[in-house]
Structures are given as structure tokens and as C-alpha cells.
Amino acid sequence: MSLKMMNRTTKITGLFNIRYPLVQGGMVWCSGWRLAAAVSNCGGLGLLGAGSMHPDTLQEHLQKLKAATSRPFGVNVPLFYPEIGAIMDIIAAAQTPVVFTSAGSPKTWTGWLHQRGIVVAHVVSSALFAVKCEQAGVDAVVAEGFEAGGHNGREETTTMALIPAVRRATALPLLAAGGIGSGRAMLAAIALGADGVQIGSRFAISQESSAHPAFKDMVIKSGEGATMLALKKLSPVRLLRNEFFAQVSAAEKQGASEPELATLLGKGRAKLGMFDGDLVNGELEIGQVAALFDDVPTVSDIMSAILSEYETARCEMNNLSL
């Protein structure tokens, strides 16, 4: 075994055939072909977020993405998606090299995807589900902590507590997600036992993200405590505090039932907020780490900053013996 092979991060770079063990999360209303192509072209793995795409939209994004990069890329697919069969057929027809599945059982599609030569990662929020992923034959797990934006686990386990638990439970290649928006956080995740990272929020607030500029602007002006987990009786989701969040929060404090919350939520709130830019009535999904963002850089600048900070902090460890 060569020294290079001993590097834990090559579990990820080797699996996806990418240069850096860094995946860009496939986020609804943010992760279109421009974002994914930019990340893949910088040596990470760019993902389309199929969760906010109709089949024909996904097909268009896949075509444009393939024209914009010759590097590996992937698609994130929430498994509860109603048109899941059509989505998977389009993914396979486009010879997509990697699929990240979430929000469902990893058993359902892993075999089908493997038969078509597609590498499969599954997103989990517990060690219990990481073990189920291993049993289902997935190739890698993403363990996502409580601090992450958007949909979130019921156990509320944070990245700091989750990564060691998942690392202990499975030998699968492991990507850490949640709270990671810098090179130092990437190093911390790898110190905890991850083989690489999935970064969402930092890329949601980039030039290439398809989110509405008003949403990006609101995020960079937000500070600590600006996000909170909401709608726990339905499906927990981390949202930026706005008028819609305030209504949900007030209803929850008064003990609103599941059907009452579902009515209040209605349909299309995430598109309304993140894509259409209605900052009052929309659902604004972003992670806690966004409190640290002051700007809307290009993907290239984000990648350079994260990778160079990782290397600086990694070398600094040589001076931190006890």
C-alpha cells in the first residue's frame, strides 16, 4: 500500500474520481447546473439538487452541466419525490456518474443504480441509518448534523457528536455535513473521523447558486441565532427567521397540531423564498454556519479559500503537541 493510498481522504477522491474530498450539497433552488459545474471544474464534486426540479428541468440541467464540465458530477435525489421513476431514468440516461439519495430507504434504489454503474451515497442523520446504508450496499454515507440548513434529523445530533458515532458504526467512506463552511471546519470534520466533507450553505451563497439575490443578501446580513429548527411535528427543517418562521414558531408554542402546521406551511414556500425572493412569506433554508458569511463569492474563490485554510490549519497542528 502506497503512502498516497493510506490517506483517508482518498476513500472519497478515489470513489468519485475527484481531486479534493469536497462535495457541494445538492440543495433545492440553489444547486443548478452553473453551481455544480463550477464546483466540479474546481476539483470537487458538484451536485444538482433534483428535489426542486421537474423531470424536464432536471434533464435540461444535466445537459447543460455535461456541456460545462468534463469532470465527475452527481445529482441529489430525495427519495420521497413523487416522480422518482422518471427522475431516475433521466439520471441513468444522462450517464450520471454519482447519485446522492436522501429522505427514504437506501434499499429502494441502490441496486438499480449500481446495475447502471452509478456510484451511490446516502445522507443520514444517525449511526443507526449509516448501518442500514452499509447493509443496503451504498458506496458512501453523508452524516449531516443538526446545524445543517434545510431538512434535518429528529435526533438533533450535532456534527461534533454525529461523526464519531457514524465512524464507529461503519467503515464506509464518510462525508461530514452540517456546520462546515471553512477550511478549519473541514479539518475538524476530518479530525473527527470523516474522510471528506459535504458543504451546502457556503455554496448556496455563491455567485453561481441559483438562489434569488435577495435571499443571498439576507443571509449575509444575518448573524448568530438567525436560524432555528422548525416544523418538528411535520419534518424538522432549519430556517432563517423571517415573518413566515415567526408565524410557525408562534403556532408551535401554542401547541399547533400536525394538520394545522401543514395548512400553515401550504405548498411551494421554499421556491417562494429562496428562488422567487419573497423574504417575508417564503421558507428560507440555510445552515447555522451562514452567520459567518459576509459576502457572495464565486465558487472558485470559495474553493481556494477553503482548501488553503485547510492546508494552513493542518500544518499548524504540527505546533500543537501537548
Which residue ranges make up the site for a copy of itself (CB under 8 A)? 3, 6-9, 19-21, 126-128, 145-147, 154-162, 164-165, 168, 178-180, 182, 184-185, 187-193, 224-225, 228-229, 233, 253-256, 287-289, 291-292, 307, 310-311, 313-314, 317-322
Burial 260-283 (b: 16+ CB within 10 A, else e): ebeebbeeebbbbbbbbbbbeebb
Cα angle, residue 84 at apex, residues 97 and 67 outer, rounded to 5°: 35
CB of 268 to a copy of itself, least distance (A): 27
CB of 280 to a copy of itself, least distance (A): 23
Nearer to a copy of itself, 140 or 291 (CB): 291
* Alpha-helical regions (H) of 98-212: 107-115, 127-136, 159-169, 183-191, 201-204
CB of 155 to a copy of itself, least distance (A): 3
Nearer to a copy of itself, 53 or 194 (CB): 194
Which is nearest to 102 in space by CA: 141, 147, 146? Answer: 141
Contact at 8 Å (CB) between 92 and 65? Answer: no
3-state secondary structure of 196: strand
Nearer to a copy of itself, 4 or 267 (CB): 4
Contact at 8 Å (CB) between 175 and 196? Answer: yes
CB of 301 to a copy of itself, least distance (A): 17
Quickly tell me which residue has 449500481 as its cell. Answer: 114
The Cα–Cα gap between 246 and 243 comes to 5
Sign of the Cα pseudo-torsion (81, 35, 286, 244, in order): negative
Extended strands (E) in the chain: 22-24, 46-49, 73-78, 98-102, 119-124, 140-144, 150-151, 174-177, 196-199, 227-230, 237-240
Output phi, psi for 128, to 5 deg.
-55, -45
CB of 4 to a copy of itself, least distance (A): 9
Across the beta sheet with 227-230, what order do the strands follow? 150-151, 237-240, 227-230
CB of 292 to a copy of itself, least distance (A): 6
Nearer to a copy of itself, 53 or 286 (CB): 286
Nearer to a copy of itself, 156 or 276 (CB): 156
Which cell is 159 given? 456534527
Nearer to a copy of itself, 115 or 319 (CB): 319
CB of 66 to a copy of itself, least distance (A): 26
Nearer to a copy of itself, 11 or 269 (CB): 11
Cα of first residue to Cα of last residue in the chain, in angstroms, is: 31
CB of 322 to a copy of itself, least distance (A): 6
Nearer to a copy of itself, 219 or 289 (CB): 289
